[in-house]
Chain A
Amino acid sequence: MTAAVTPAAGPGRAARLVRRVPLHLVVVVLIVIWLIPTIGLLVNSFRPPEALTQSGWWTAIFSPSQFTLNNYAHVLAQSNITAGFVNSLFISIPATVIPIMVAAFAAYAFAWMKFPGRDILFVAVVGLLVVPLQSTFIPILQLYGPKGLNIAGSFLTVWLAHTGYGLPFAIYLLRNFMGELPREVFESAAIDGASPVTSFFRLALPMTVPAIAALAIFQFLFVWNDLLVSLIYIGAQNPDNAPLTIVVSNLVSSLGGGWQYLAAAAFVTMALPLAVFLALQRYFVRGIVGGSVKG
């Protein structure tokens, strides 16, 4: 499949360039396909609501006079938008760090320690991915309520809940990447007297950095974009702790429609997860594993 687009062993620079044309063509076509809907949303986020229903977004490109910043101004002028942003940060960062740490230990045990019932237990853990979150809300609300832990409405409720909900995928992904590491590395470490703790921190963790980076991106993104879990555990009880997603959803429903605000809000809320994605790109480099396996 990729044979036609290989850079290998071309007779010269020009020939190599020509052989790479199909590669660039395919990549660019895919990028354009992926961009069209996003550009549509971006253009619409700068248009007044009347224009949205009367003409397609592409017409605006040829008559830029209708562009307006009103949608963004309206979204950013919401009194609680800054508070929502700060709350989203407070919720998302711990809710990303905790499950990754908890999952890493469990994943290492599932990958490199032998114990009876391990496979069944692991499958049960991953199988929990399919549990509909909606079916967990009522029992967990009772647990958080005054008759239980009495922490309803606090950030702690969503930190714990997102950890619980995020763990099956986190363990699954990390166990897979840790399980792929070569046995010799751990065996030679054990011969040198390394304990499992040392092997975990010095070998397994550094060698799974790309997987941890990928996991961090997704866990952060899912928590950042989550509306449902925050709405259930924080929303009603404590509006002061409401994240950005709740602020945005109020914006839209209270105005009955408000699509143009939704488009603007989508780009406002998207900025940070995208920054996280770009910041973690540097961990996706070839050779992190290769280098540490050598010798």
Chain B
Amino acid sequence: MDQRLVTAIIVVLGVPAVLVGYIWLTERLLERIGQRARPRLRPWLWVAPALAFLIVFLVYPTIGSLIRSFQNAAGTKLVGLDNYTWFFTNDASLIALKNSLIWLVVLTGLTVGLGLLIALLVDRVRYETVAKSVIFVPLAISMVAASVIWKFMYDYATPPDPQVGTLNAALGSAGIAPVAWIQISDFSFNSILLVIVMAWMWTGFCMVIISAALKGINPELLEAARVDGANERQLFRGITLPLLAPTLAVVITTMVITALKAFDIVYVMTSGHFDTQVVAFQLINELYNFGNPGRASAIGIVLLLAIIPVMALNIRRFRAQEAIR
């Protein structure tokens, strides 16, 4: 048999077995130590495997880039906060910051709003699986293929040439002149067009998670409220929404981070032209095109600091959850 197949089977069956064995073993060990120390030690043993992975793959490289962010392009000498002051003072990155803020607000609003709406609506129809699959499909398309699709959607040809872009052809059949969609940077119009591509992909993500939470709501709870004479609006506001709130917080947080990290769509569709650059795009650009890991690292650290307020809200929410459950 293929050696790699053997390895894969060993890994798929072996890793869960090892993990369960590890937990079992730690329980045996915990039995030997005192009653008092047990509940204090156990959580650390349970989170240890996860922490080990996180420290190696994410924390350790992040410490590296923190140090790198205080160095010059070649990494030969310390430059203090120069990379940070550069980032917050040059025009291109100020536009990127503004665009990232637009991405954050519009992408999160669209994906979570539509994801919630669709999850609630398809929950009531028989063709739920079909509807959900259609919304989910874009997420399964690779980012590059998705960008190609939307290039065809937004495509613009200088008039006598035929319009092969879907939107311009639709305008044309209504007798309206074609629009150079992607090139209009007034009011960040083109950035919002790029956000729509991303929203088309990620709404399925929000829908699936919200739907999973929706299915977890005890139907007896809704039934009891119905018997008591509550109408559907009251059911939604009084039961469904509060029970979905924690999950909504998770998808909102995840989408905020996804918005901050987004660069592929910008990269493929506009290469950052027409003032569509975003913060993560600037990072990749500094790293690969301008060969300045110092500046790239500084941008990475800025992103990390930018989500602290979101995380603080998460702590408050978890404390509240604990108090009432």
In the bound complex, do residue A127 and residue B50 qualify as a contact, i.e. CB atoms below 8 Å apart?
no
In the bound complex, do residue B56 and residue A164 qualify as a contact, i.e. CB atoms below 8 Å apart?
yes
Q: Could you tell me the distance between the alpha carbons of A191 and B319 in the complex, rounded to whole angstroms? A: 25
Tell me the minimal C-beta distance from B231 to chain A in angstroms.
Answer: 6
In the bound complex, do residue A38 and residue B144 qualify as a contact, i.e. CB atoms below 8 Å apart?
no
Q: Which of B76-84, B85-93, B182-190, B203-211 contacts A (4 or more CB under 8 A)?
A: B203-211
The one of B11, B47, B142, B253 that contacts A266, using a Cβ cutoff of 8 Å: B142
In the bound complex, do residue A210 and residue B212 qualify as a contact, i.e. CB atoms below 8 Å apart?
yes
In the bound complex, do residue B300 and residue A281 qualify as a contact, i.e. CB atoms below 8 Å apart?
no
In terms of DSSP, what is the predominant structure of the interface of chain B?
helix
In the bound complex, do residue A126 and residue B314 qualify as a contact, i.e. CB atoms below 8 Å apart?
yes
In the bound complex, do residue B12 and residue A97 qualify as a contact, i.e. CB atoms below 8 Å apart?
yes
In the bound complex, do residue B50 and residue A56 qualify as a contact, i.e. CB atoms below 8 Å apart?
no
Q: Could you tell me the distance between the alpha carbons of A106 and B53 in the complex, rounded to whole angstroms? A: 12
Highest count of chain B CB atoms <10 Å: which of A36, A108, A176, A266: A176
B287 at the interface (CB under 8 A from A): yes
Q: Could you tell me the distance between the alpha carbons of A214 and B135 in the complex, rounded to whole angstroms? A: 15
In the bound complex, do residue B315 and residue A177 qualify as a contact, i.e. CB atoms below 8 Å apart?
no
Known: A195-B27, A225-B142, A270-B137. A105 touches B47 (CB 8 A): yes
CB-defined contacts of B159 to chain A, threshold 8 Å? none
Q: Which of A61-69, A74-82, A135-143 contacts B (4 or more CB under 8 A)?
A: A135-143
Known: A127-B304, A263-B145. A5 touches B50 (CB 8 A): no
Instruction: Mark A187-217 against chain B: 1 for CB-CB distance below 8 A, else 0.
Output: 0000000011100100000000011011001
The one of B62, B114, B134, B233 that contacts A35, using a Cβ cutoff of 8 Å: B134
Q: Could you tell me the distance between the alpha carbons of A14 and B60 in the complex, rounded to whole angstroms? A: 64
Q: Which residue of B lies closest to A259 (CB)?
A: B148
B283 at the interface (CB under 8 A from A): yes
In the bound complex, do residue A163 and residue B53 qualify as a contact, i.e. CB atoms below 8 Å apart?
yes
A278 at the interface (CB under 8 A from B): yes
The one of A101, A211, A293 that contacts B212, using a Cβ cutoff of 8 Å: A211
User: How many A residues face the partner with a CB closer than 8 A?
Assistant: 123
Q: Could you tell me the distance between the alpha carbons of A165 and B53 in the complex, rounded to whole angstroms? A: 9
User: How many B residues face the partner with a CB closer than 8 A?
Assistant: 117
CB-defined contacts of B303 to chain A, threshold 8 Å? 130, 132
Q: Could you tell me the distance between the alpha carbons of A54 and B138 in the complex, rounded to whole angstroms? A: 25
In terms of DSSP, what is the predominant structure of the interface of chain A?
helix
CB-defined contacts of B216 to chain A, threshold 8 Å? 177, 180, 210-211, 288-289
B136 at the interface (CB under 8 A from A): yes
In the bound complex, do residue B209 and residue A131 qualify as a contact, i.e. CB atoms below 8 Å apart?
no
Tell me the minimal C-beta distance from A216 to chain B in angstroms.
Answer: 11
Q: Could you tell me the distance between the alpha carbons of A251 and B234 in the complex, rounded to whole angstroms? A: 55
In the bound complex, do residue B121 and residue A26 qualify as a contact, i.e. CB atoms below 8 Å apart?
yes
Instruction: Mark B113-151 against chain A: 1 for CB-CB distance below 8 A, else 0.
Output: 010001011101100010111111111111111001110
In the bound complex, do residue B215 and residue A286 qualify as a contact, i.e. CB atoms below 8 Å apart?
yes
In the bound complex, do residue A135 and residue B61 qualify as a contact, i.e. CB atoms below 8 Å apart?
yes
In the bound complex, do residue B205 and residue A218 qualify as a contact, i.e. CB atoms below 8 Å apart?
yes
CB-defined contacts of A265 to chain B, threshold 8 Å? 145
Q: Could you tell me the distance between the alpha carbons of A214 and B208 in the complex, rounded to whole angstroms? A: 7
Tell me the minimal C-beta distance from A15 to chain B in angstroms.
Answer: 15
In the bound complex, do residue B304 and residue A269 qualify as a contact, i.e. CB atoms below 8 Å apart?
no
The one of B19, B140, B249 that contacts A105, using a Cβ cutoff of 8 Å: B19
Q: Could you tell me the distance between the alpha carbons of A259 and B146 in the complex, rounded to whole angstroms? A: 12
B72 at the interface (CB under 8 A from A): no
Q: Could you tell me the distance between the alpha carbons of A287 and B222 in the complex, rounded to whole angstroms? A: 12
Starting from the known contacts A97-B16, A106-B51, 19 additional A-B residue pairs (CB-CB under 8 Å) come to: A36-B166, A57-B166, A97-B15, A109-B47, A125-B51, A132-B300, A135-B61, A136-B58, A139-B60, A164-B53, A164-B54, A165-B57, A168-B58, A179-B246, A179-B318, A214-B209, A262-B144, A278-B133, A289-B216
Which 3 A-B residue pairs are closest in the complex by CB-CB distance? A164-B57, A266-B145, A106-B50
Which residues does A use to contact B, with CB under 8 Å? 1-3, 5-8, 20, 23-24, 26-27, 30-31, 34-38, 40-41, 44, 52-58, 90, 93-94, 97-99, 101-103, 105-106, 108-110, 113-115, 118-119, 121-123, 125-132, 134-136, 138-140, 143, 155, 159-161, 163-165, 167-169, 171-173, 176-177, 179-183, 195-197, 200, 210-211, 213-214, 217-218, 221, 225, 227, 245, 248-249, 252, 259, 262-263, 265-266, 269-270, 273-274, 277-278, 281, 284-290, 293
**Could you list some 11 contacts between A and B, CB below 8 A?**
A5-B121, A30-B131, A34-B200, A93-B8, A109-B43, A135-B300, A136-B57, A138-B64, A177-B213, A284-B211, A285-B215
